[in-house]
Structure formats: structure tokens, C-alpha cells
Structure 1
Amino acid sequence: MNQDRQRELARLLAGMRRDRRQQSGLDPALIPPDSTTAYRIARMVEEELGLPVAGWKIAAMKREMQEALRTDSPIYGRIYEPEVRLSPASVLFATQCSPIPEAEYVARLAVDLPPRSKAYGLEEVTEAVASLHPGIEMPECHFIHDARFPPLSAVLTDGAGGSAVCLGAAIEGWRERDIAGQEVVLSCNGVVRRRGTAAAALDHPMVPLTWLANELSRTGIGMRAGQVVSTGTLTGMLRPKAGDIYVADFGPFGSVQVSYD
């Protein structure tokens, strides 16, 4: 896939994000041959948009989610400004592109984690976190989920579904608390839809965060102080309808609310 084709796809995706629109399928000539090319194009989308990167999303840390997303490794995408919101948040359903609310822990960085030759360790990355929050990620996809839905490499160019994230209040003393074992309950309109824990979904939020620090370091990107990272779904994927209100209850760690108006 030559540079001209890569840039063509980046411009197409940037335009779809600006216009908040979807399309069915993708010209085969624009489908990236591998994830390396896909992530390169995702970086071109950032250039085309000209928006600050407010943070990152991670998905598919464990095999079950990897199988659902047709990948053999974790994946990541960008969250652009101004898509980091505080709970309670609302979005206009009619403007959403195949939305999926997911309960997740969200970390905010205190310091830069720049590219370097030495790998980042779990303890170092943990110390780099300013705060940890209960959250709801609000992924979107600019390809319609139909018979022509393109392969994962095309989805990676679209930020792996990265769109917006809603944060609750910071969890006090989170380093000393049972983050991994705390049950999280995702409800829709007052009805419990899903339950999950970090232990089952991703071991601990610092595990995917460390993976991302090393992945972005390896590819010369890095992360910056103040950026947020949505560390992966604890409750799987659900399809909202107009008027739905989702609440993620993290027990003693607080709750987060998103409404699809």
C-alpha cells in the first residue's frame, strides 16, 4: 500500500470524523495489509484532523475479547479533544456512529512517558499515573456493521473505535485498594445489563497501561502528562438506543453516567 493510498484513506477517515458520518465497506485498494501500516495511517488521520490528542483507548487485552475483535494482540486508538467528559455526560444519539458504551477504568498521567530504548516496567508506569477514575468509554465506528464491514486493519486506522470517554471522580488511595477485584455493574435505564471485574477482563488497569506505554515508545510516539487512557472494557459491548441512560457502578469507587439523548 503506497503512501498516496495511505494518505487518501487518512483524508477519508478524517472527513468522516469531522462530518460524523459512516460508510458501508471500503475500497479494497485502501485496506491496509497489516497493523503496522494501519497504525501509520491512524497517525496520518491525527495530522489531517489537526486536533490535540487528549488520550488513548486500549482494547482486547485478553483472548476472549481478541477473538471478538478478530485480533491476536491488544489494540489501541486515539481520543481527541474535546472528547474527555465529566460525569454525568450526554451525547446526541443521532450523531453517534454505531456507539458502544463500556465500563472501564481511566488513568490520567502525571508525567510524560516518552519513546526510549529501555522498556517501561509496571511499577514505573504505575508511579507515572496522577489519578485513576471510574469511567465509561463511548466508542464509535465510522464503518457500518453490515456484510461489507472491513477487516480489523481498517478499523485500526479509524482509531480502533476511539471516540469519547466519560470520567467519574478520582478514586482516593487507589494504589492501596482492590481495584482488580472490585465488581463493576453496568446498568441501562435502571436494569442491570453486565457485570465484570478488572481481574477477569485485564488483570489490573496498570497492565494494559504498561503495554500501551511500551507500544507507543516502540513506535516513536509516547504519551504526555495530562493525557487519559481508557484501559479496556470490564463489561463487554452493548448497543444503546436513543433515550438510553447508562450507569457504571464501581461500588465504593463511585459511579459514572452517560445518556444517549
Structure 2
Amino acid sequence: MATPPNAADLLAANRLRPGAFAGLPQGLRPADAAAGRRLQDAVHQRLSAAGLGPRVGWKIGCTTPVMQRFLGIPEPCEGGIFQANVQPSPGRFAAAAHHRLGVECEIAVRIGRDLPPGPHDRASVAAVVEAVLPAIEVVDDRYADFAALGAPTLLADDFFQAGCVLGAPVADWRGLDLAALSGRMLVDGVEVGRGHGRDVLGHPLAALAWLATTLGTRGRGLMAGETVLLGSLVQTQWIGPGAHVAIEIEALGRVEMTA
């Protein structure tokens, strides 16, 4: 008899062949965030083995009021980013290869040296940031009804993560007021949203400190070379085949992709 699939198998299979995933069977659903993170670890192992390569960074979701209202989740959640799904600008993520393709406007950071596990604040995480860069996070609503899944399952599935397009890194970033930077998103040349760095937990590096502290509860730290997307400045925009997306973040630059 075939072995019944477990929760990690089901989530990984849907990630690799996106469709209208109805959710995990009742007995396989993670009960809380801690269980969701344990399941996330197992999903990551399967995705790496299936060809996505190593996890090379993190995304943080629900760091801005607009996204918390949109998703109905009042606190941040983290997800992994895999090597195969990272592209330089201009990038291309085909809408046809996804269930419901979305894009977000992000400030990202690149980690320059390892940060050990433990509680962290803005100052301690700033010390290891090598560069700041603009980014488009690519997300996929690969569910029949994401609101019915519950936050722990969304967390286990990396919170809609599907990839990212990265702009040029800005190494001389310490003179910038990251909280004051404005960003906007354009779809087919039309502005569809605008926000500021301060919308991300009051300061983009507050989101990074949240991630570092949360990883510390799992015995992990941030690692040199990792890229972290800190949260969308604007509400997710769902796009169709052929759409052209651009984001512009003050002092950081422009990133583009097509679907």
C-alpha cells in the first residue's frame, strides 16, 4: 500500500504545481504558529530537494497596516526564498505558470555577515546589513480560499511566496532615512499604489529585527549572503499574462518585470 502523503508533501506538491489548493485535511493542519514553523522547515527540505535549490533568504509578510487589513492577519509572518526563484531586474515570472500571480513593492536588504540567534533590535541588525535594494516580491495565491486556510498553514507554505526580482544593491545606504523613503508601483504604466518605509512596522529595520528575533526562537540567525524582503509598501496587485510591473523606491532605484 502506498504511504499516505503528509502535510509537507501536500504543500510542496502544490507549490511545484500550483492550483486551487483546498487546504490540509483536518488532522494535518498546524494548530499554531510554532507548529506552522516546524512544518515550514519540512516543506523547505522538500522544495530544495525537488530542484528549487537552497533557501537563500527570507520574506516578511504582514508588516504594514495595508497588508494586515488586506489579509486579516494582525502580525508579521516569515517565509523562505529559494535560489531558483530569484531574478535580477528586469525579470519575468509567467502568469501561466502560477495560479494567481501577484506583485508587491518591497525594500530589501542583503546580509553581509552572520548574525547569531538571539533577541535583536534595529541597531544590532543594521550592523550586519551590507546593502539595501529595491525589490518586487512575486506571490501566488495558490489556494481555493486563502482566508479559510488559517495563518499557521499560510506560514508553513511561506505566506504566498513565489519569487522575487531584485534591483541594484545600494551599499552606501547608512546616510538614508529608510523610514522616510517613498515607493510606488506601476502596472502597465499606471500607478496602482504608493507607500513609505515607515509603513513597515514604523521602520524597515524594525521588520528585520523582528525576523532576527523570531528566527532566534528557532535557534537560527541571519546568514551572510541572505536577502530579506521586509514587507510590501502597497497592497498586493494581481496581474495577468503580459502585464508589465515597475516599482520605484526613492534613493534606491527601479525594478521591472513582465508576466
Q: What's the TM-score, normalizing by structure 2? A: 0.90
Q: Contact 2:200–2:207 at 8 Å: present in 1 too? A: no
Q: Contact 2:185–2:191 at 8 Å: present in 1 too? A: yes
Offset, 1:251: 3.4
Deviation string, structure 1 residues 58-115 (Cα, Å, up to 9, x no partner): 0122455334323332111001112121100011110023222001011110111232
Q: Does 1:80 align with 2:117?
A: no
Q: Contact 1:141–1:158 at 8 Å: present in 2 too? A: no
Counterparts of 1:198 and 1:82, CA distance in 2: 28
Offset, 1:248: 0.3
Q: What is the DSSP-based 3-state SS (H/G/I as helix, E as strand, rest coil) of the residue aligned with 2:210?
A: helix
| Matched positions, count | 253
Tell me the residue number matched to 2:174: 175
Counterpart of 1:196, as a letter, is G
Q: What is the DSSP-based 3-state SS (H/G/I as helix, E as strand, rest coil) of the residue aligned with 1:176?
A: coil
Counterpart of 2:8, as a letter, is A
Aligned-residue sequence identity (percent) comes to 28
Tell me the residue number matched to 2:13: 15
Tell me the residue number matched to 1:238: 237
CA 1:200–1:219 in structure 2 vs 1: closer, same or farther (change >3 Å)? same
Tell me the residue number matched to 1:68: 70
State how 1:61-140 maps to structure 2 within 5 Å: 61-116=63-118, 119-140=119-140
Q: What is the DSSP-based 3-state SS (H/G/I as helix, E as strand, rest coil) of the residue aligned with 2:136?
A: strand
Counterparts of 1:235 and 1:199, CA distance in 2: 12
Q: Contact 2:66–2:235 at 8 Å: present in 1 too? A: no
State how 1:28-67 maps to structure 2 within 5 Å: 28-49=26-47, 50=49, 51-67=53-69
Q: Does 1:164 align with 2:163?
A: yes
Offset, 1:161: 1.5
Q: What's the TM-score, normalizing by structure 1? A: 0.89
Q: Does 1:229 align with 2:228?
A: yes
Tell me the residue number matched to 2:141: 141
Counterparts of 1:104 and 1:233, CA distance in 2: 5
Q: Contact 1:109–1:225 at 8 Å: present in 2 too? A: yes
- Within the candidate set 15, 22, 25, 1:24 is matched to 22
24-33 or 205-214, which deviates more: 24-33
Counterparts of 1:25 and 1:215, CA distance in 2: 25
Counterparts of 1:61 and 1:15, CA distance in 2: 28
Counterparts of 1:101 and 1:43, CA distance in 2: 25
Counterparts of 2:149 and 2:168, CA distance in 1: 37
Counterparts of 2:20 and 2:211, CA distance in 1: 28
36-45 or 134-143, which deviates more: 134-143
Q: Contact 1:143–1:149 at 8 Å: present in 2 too? A: no
86-95 or 9-18, which deviates more: 9-18
Tell me the residue number matched to 2:198: 199
Deviation string, structure 1 residues 209-237 (Cα, Å, up to 9, x no partner): 01100100111132211010000000111
Q: CA RMSD in A?
A: 2.1
- Which residues of structure 1 form unaligned runs of 5+? none
Offset, 1:178: 2.5
Counterparts of 2:224 and 2:109, CA distance in 1: 11
Counterparts of 1:141 and 1:224, CA distance in 2: 29
Counterparts of 1:225 and 1:83, CA distance in 2: 19
Q: Contact 1:98–1:144 at 8 Å: present in 2 too? A: no
